[in-house]
A and B are shown apart, each in its own frame.
Chain A
Amino acid sequence: MTTKEYESYYVPAQSKWPIVGAIALFLIAVGAGNYVANLNNPDSSGGGWVLLAGIALIIYMMFGWFNNVITESMSGKYSHQMDNSFRQGMSWFIFSEVMFFAAFFGALLYARTFAVPWLGGAGNNAATGAILWPEFTATWPLVKTPDGTETTAMGWYGLPLINTILLLTSSITAHLAHVALEQEKRGLLKFWLGLTVLLGCVFLYCQGLEYAHGYADEMKLYLDSGIYGNTFYLLTGFHGMHVTLGTIMLLVMLIRVFKGHFTPKNHFAFQAASWYWHFVDVVWVLLFVFVYII
């Protein structure tokens, strides 16, 4: 890197957005805390409103903050080095998300490999099985918990398989959109990116159908149906939230494409959204294997 590039590193002036974001996070945490702590207390519903106010404020912050960044970028204030900072920042953020999912995958694998078999008396735990819950048999998916809650396992064919195909296809269309952007083919870019957003939405719709199916009386697969239901809903639920976030990111990119933003050389935001989308896709493949198939 040349010295010249270093001289032009852009240090932004004071900004009000971080403190707005800090207050927003504070409202979200206080609101969510109050809401969750008073779940069984219908008289106090204040928490929900504080939570919504926090979410509204953080959306306002994102508009303002990203607006500043986009303006600065489009007026040519950013150097190649600045672009690198953003790229590296986004990569490490995605890595932190990988570790977040790792915690839940860890819980799933621990429960399957150790917790459930030990409850059934595996290893040197014969006494555990015999004394605590003699009737219990260790199986996976755990359709009957030690305390007798019964549920049904979600199969991998049908909706989950369709969803896998949807997400894998969307990763390809996201990539094709990127290629189109780099080749300056704006029409194709709009088409592929629009299709990606659409596939994300259809995925979310199917996921909703699947949840409705799980909560229906034939399946009785609830969030509190023992460790199988716990890991199923927490893993797919957090993944679904990430798909929602990724779809919104791609949608914003689509709007920006229609506004004429991005050049073949300068499109960090687009690339960040597309990286995020591929990450969400990879997590789904792991989910499909470990939650549904095996």
Chain B
Amino acid sequence: MTSNVINEQSTQDAHDDGHHDHKMTGLKRWLYTTNHKDIGSMYLWFSFIMFLTGGVMALVIRAELFQPGLQIVEPDFFNQMTTVHGLIMVFGAIMPAFTGLANWMLPMMVGAPDMALPRLNNWSFWILPFAFAILLSTFFLESGAPNFGWTFYAPLSTTYSNGSTAFFVFAVHIMGISSIMGAINIVVTIMNMRAPGMTYMKMPLFVWTFFITAYLLIAVMPVLAGTVTMVLTDTYFGTSFFDAAGGGDPVMFQHIFWFFGHPEVYIMILPAFGIVSTTIPAFSRKKLFGYSSMVYATASIAFLSFIVWAHHMFTTGMPLFGELFFMYCTMLIAVPTGVKVFNWAATMWRGAISFETPMLFSIAFVILFTIGGFSGLMLAMTPVDFQYHDTYFVVAHFHYVLVTGALFSIFAGAYYWLPKWTGYMYNDTLSKWHFWCSLVSVNLLFFPMHFLGLAGMPRRIPDYALQFADFNKWVSIGGFAFGLSQLIFLVLVIKCIKGGKKAEAKPWDGAEGLEWTVPSPAPYHTFETPPKID
């Protein structure tokens, strides 16, 4: 160790002397980087690639469902598509996109030089592509990829699983490590790196929502790791955690999985609340209405997320007290969520609103997310859930929340901060095309699913009864239109990186926050000396 120490020390010194301007070039810059902006960009690009990959799988699903009957893929492959589409969109697209935004914006927003643990930050990112390489490689196994749904219910994932389960389990372990390490970095950055004078209640709401989300991640990702571990031993080592013949219980799987799964849902929506709470005040040219109530509402939602998990399991069966308890707790979530929606509306009330693209996506978010929230409230009622369970109504519900909710907020954030990231304004015409095409197609895609579900069409099937044909045709058309619309965004981002109208340090006149006090594009290292907050 000692001889190494001396060698390392000399190279370290060489690094440090110039480390503020020192920037490696080529591939090494990205592999070795400790810079939060580089890592943020990698997260965002990775999530977009995964978004397109998972999107192609969704299009395979929609192509098969365009007409009744089996036309394009085998049922088993169809199941692989639904499973991997779900896993990729949750763990590969939405979560890394939020982590990317956090990486880019949090240090700037709290006035820190970088994330608290920069090397760990790099590691958190770089293990992700490997995890998804493993997951996607299972398509080349003889048995194919996981086919038991992203929720991997036992015994589908144990007794009846194909040969890919071990790879699925280890891939999920790595994704979990990545999320936990990323979350620890976010928590420590916020707790320890705020500029002098920035008290907790002066932090932008964006920072607050990521703070609370990171706690949720640290608390529940290890539970997911435990769940997949038990699936692994049940499948390969003869244990019977989820097998009644050995004294276990498949229902237990669902309890442990959803103890992770429900907070996971809020992991994917709380940061979205933070983004629109940033953009709506900026384009309404007013302060955010009810800042402290927003903070408390976010914390309440996070707390409630731990005691509502079994509302995913009303039809699985549990004692009556359980059904009632989880129904009422779930409905309680509508209260803090309502506080948020009314606060956004009150922020816009009598504001000098302008409709730049980030604002368009934010307004669409508020309205469409609320639709998703209301269908959630319908699903929360135990007796009616008995009819909706595992139908397309559920698919409609969570896609409204995750696509027009989480994804739209990510678009809002991306348009809002693109000038800060690239130093150029994005092409306004293209962005409007992106928004309107997405808005129309996403509703064509997901709204009819409500009716399909209420009429009884089950989810996760490659074929359906004839009476569902018309709606499914429109849904598929909407799906392809939505998928193609996202290519506009890809072109727009590439154009914006290459050039365009120079962006000012603060291109939005109503914007607030420390990130707008530095030039656009933001310099490689921001706030080497902390800004003063009054």
User: Which chain B residues lie closer than 8 Å to A89 at the CB level?
Assistant: 116-117, 120, 184-185, 188
Chain A CB within 8 A of B393 CB:
no
List the B residue with the shortest CB-CB distance to A14: B32
User: Which chain A residues lie closer than 8 Å to B443 at the CB level?
Assistant: none
Whether A92 pairs with B131 at a CB distance below 8 angstroms is: no
A270–chain B nearest beta-carbon distance, Å? 17
Chain A CB within 8 A of B465 CB:
no
CA distance A228 to B247 in the complex (A): 8
A126–chain B nearest beta-carbon distance, Å? 14
Whether A227 pairs with B240 at a CB distance below 8 angstroms is: yes
User: Which chain B residues lie closer than 8 Å to A119 at the CB level?
Assistant: 244, 247, 249
CA distance A80 to B175 in the complex (A): 32
* Interface window among A71-79, A200-208, A211-219, A272-280: A71-79
CA distance A34 to B166 in the complex (A): 8
Using a CB–CB cutoff of 8 Å, the interface residues on chain B facing chain A are 1-2, 4-5, 8-9, 12, 15-16, 19, 22, 24, 28-29, 31-34, 112-114, 116-120, 122-123, 126-127, 130-131, 133-134, 163, 165-167, 169-171, 173-174, 177, 180, 183-185, 187-188, 191-193, 195-196, 218-223, 225-227, 229-230, 232-233, 236-241, 244-249, 251-252, 255-256, 259, 319, 525, 528-530
Chain B CB within 8 A of A37 CB:
yes
User: Which chain B residues lie closer than 8 Å to A268 at the CB level?
Assistant: none
Which of B229, B233, B240 has the most C-beta atoms of chain A within 10 angstroms of its own C-beta? B240
CA distance A99 to B173 in the complex (A): 14
Which of B29, B191, B244 has the most C-beta atoms of chain A within 10 angstroms of its own C-beta? B244
A280–chain B nearest beta-carbon distance, Å? 15
List the B residue with the shortest CB-CB distance to A238: B229
Interface string of A1-45 (1 = CB under 8 A from B): 111001101011111111101110110111011101101000000
**Cβ 8 A contact of B118, one of A11, A30, A107:** A11
Whether A12 pairs with B196 at a CB distance below 8 angstroms is: no
Which of A36, A71, A103, A119 has the most C-beta atoms of chain B within 10 angstroms of its own C-beta? A103
Whether A14 pairs with B33 at a CB distance below 8 angstroms is: yes
User: Which chain A residues lie closer than 8 Å to B170 at the CB level?
Assistant: 28-30, 32-33
Interface string of A139-153 (1 = CB under 8 A from B): 000100111010000
24 A-B pairs, CB-CB below 8 angstroms?
A7-B528, A14-B32, A16-B32, A17-B119, A18-B122, A22-B123, A22-B130, A26-B174, A33-B167, A75-B9, A85-B188, A89-B120, A92-B184, A92-B218, A93-B180, A99-B223, A100-B226, A114-B249, A115-B251, A123-B319, A132-B244, A142-B247, A223-B237, A224-B237
User: Which chain A residues lie closer than 8 Å to B5 at the CB level?
Assistant: 67, 70-71
User: Which chain A residues lie closer than 8 Å to B248 at the CB level?
Assistant: 111, 115, 227, 230
Which of A16, A86, A97, A107 has the most C-beta atoms of chain B within 10 angstroms of its own C-beta? A107
Q: A14-B34, A19-B32 are in contact. Are A110 and B249 (CB under 8 A)?
A: yes
CA distance A67 to B1 in the complex (A): 8
CA distance A3 to B15 in the complex (A): 24
Q: A3-B530, A37-B163 are in contact. Are A92 and B188 (CB under 8 A)?
A: yes
Whether A145 pairs with B245 at a CB distance below 8 angstroms is: yes
User: Which chain B residues lie closer than 8 Å to A32 at the CB level?
Assistant: 166, 170
**Cβ 8 A contact of B218, one of A84, A99, A110, A234:** A99
Whether A115 pairs with B167 at a CB distance below 8 angstroms is: no
Whether A230 pairs with B528 at a CB distance below 8 angstroms is: no
**Cβ 8 A contact of A103, one of B187, B191, B222:** B222
User: Which chain B residues lie closer than 8 Å to A269 at the CB level?
Assistant: none
Whether A13 pairs with B19 at a CB distance below 8 angstroms is: yes
User: Which chain A residues lie closer than 8 Å to B29 at the CB level?
Assistant: 14
A41–chain B nearest beta-carbon distance, Å? 10
CA distance A259 to B218 in the complex (A): 35
List the A residue with the shortest CB-CB distance to B529: A7
Whether B252 pairs with A107 at a CB distance below 8 angstroms is: yes
List the A residue with the shortest CB-CB distance to B236: A36
Whether A6 pairs with B245 at a CB distance below 8 angstroms is: no
CA distance A15 to B11 in the complex (A): 11
Chain B CB within 8 A of A68 CB:
yes
Whether B166 pairs with A36 at a CB distance below 8 angstroms is: yes
B157–chain A nearest beta-carbon distance, Å? 14
User: Which chain B residues lie closer than 8 Å to A28 at the CB level?
Assistant: 170
Chain B CB within 8 A of A88 CB:
yes
Chain B CB within 8 A of A63 CB:
yes
**Cβ 8 A contact of A68, one of B2, B12, B196, B233:** B12
Chain B CB within 8 A of A191 CB:
no
Known: A17-B119, A145-B240. 13 other contacts (CB 8 A): A6-B195, A6-B530, A13-B15, A14-B22, A25-B130, A33-B134, A75-B9, A89-B117, A92-B183, A96-B184, A103-B230, A118-B249, A146-B244
**Cβ 8 A contact of A26, one of B16, B130, B184, B244:** B130
List the A residue with the shortest CB-CB distance to B126: A22
B15–chain A nearest beta-carbon distance, Å? 3
User: Which chain A residues lie closer than 8 Å to B225 at the CB level?
Assistant: 100, 103
Q: A14-B24, A89-B117, A224-B237 are in contact. Are A81 and B127 (CB under 8 A)?
A: no
List the B residue with the shortest CB-CB distance to A138: B247
User: Which chain B residues lie closer than 8 Å to A107 at the CB level?
Assistant: 226, 230, 241, 252, 256
Closest 10 pairs (CB-CB, A-B):
A103-B226, A224-B238, A13-B15, A227-B247, A18-B123, A115-B249, A14-B32, A100-B222, A29-B170, A22-B126
Q: Chain A interface mostly helix, strand, loop or mixed?
A: helix
Which of A22, A23, A93, A104 has the most C-beta atoms of chain B within 10 angstroms of its own C-beta? A22
User: Which chain A residues lie closer than 8 Å to B230 at the CB level?
Assistant: 103-104, 107, 234
Chain B CB within 8 A of A293 CB:
no
B9–chain A nearest beta-carbon distance, Å? 5
Which of A33, A81, A88, A132 has the most C-beta atoms of chain B within 10 angstroms of its own C-beta? A33
User: Which chain B residues lie closer than 8 Å to A96 at the CB level?
Assistant: 180, 184, 218-219, 221-222
User: Which chain B residues lie closer than 8 Å to A23 at the CB level?
Assistant: 130
List the B residue with the shortest CB-CB distance to A93: B184
User: Which chain A residues lie closer than 8 Å to B174 at the CB level?
Assistant: 25-26, 29
List the B residue with the shortest CB-CB distance to A132: B244
User: Which chain A residues lie closer than 8 Å to B185 at the CB level?
Assistant: 89
Q: A29-B174, A106-B259 are in contact. Are A230 and B239 (CB under 8 A)?
A: yes
Whether B167 pairs with A84 at a CB distance below 8 angstroms is: no
Whether B241 pairs with A88 at a CB distance below 8 angstroms is: no
CA distance A121 to B192 in the complex (A): 54
Whether B116 pairs with A103 at a CB distance below 8 angstroms is: no
List the A residue with the shortest CB-CB distance to B23: A14
User: Which chain A residues lie closer than 8 Å to B319 at the CB level?
Assistant: 123-124
Chain B CB within 8 A of A65 CB:
yes
CA distance A2 to B529 in the complex (A): 12
Whether A18 pairs with B223 at a CB distance below 8 angstroms is: no
CA distance A98 to B247 in the complex (A): 26
User: Which chain B residues lie closer than 8 Å to A224 at the CB level?
Assistant: 237-240, 246
List the B residue with the shortest CB-CB distance to A107: B241
CA distance A115 to B221 in the complex (A): 24
B42–chain A nearest beta-carbon distance, Å? 12
Q: A29-B130, A29-B173 are in contact. Are A111 and B188 (CB under 8 A)?
A: no
Whether A18 pairs with B119 at a CB distance below 8 angstroms is: yes
Whether A99 pairs with B219 at a CB distance below 8 angstroms is: yes
User: Which chain A residues lie closer than 8 Å to B116 at the CB level?
Assistant: 85, 88-89
A248–chain B nearest beta-carbon distance, Å? 15
Whether B8 pairs with A68 at a CB distance below 8 angstroms is: yes
B135–chain A nearest beta-carbon distance, Å? 10
CA distance A21 to B174 in the complex (A): 12
Chain B CB within 8 A of A157 CB:
no
Chain B CB within 8 A of A102 CB:
yes
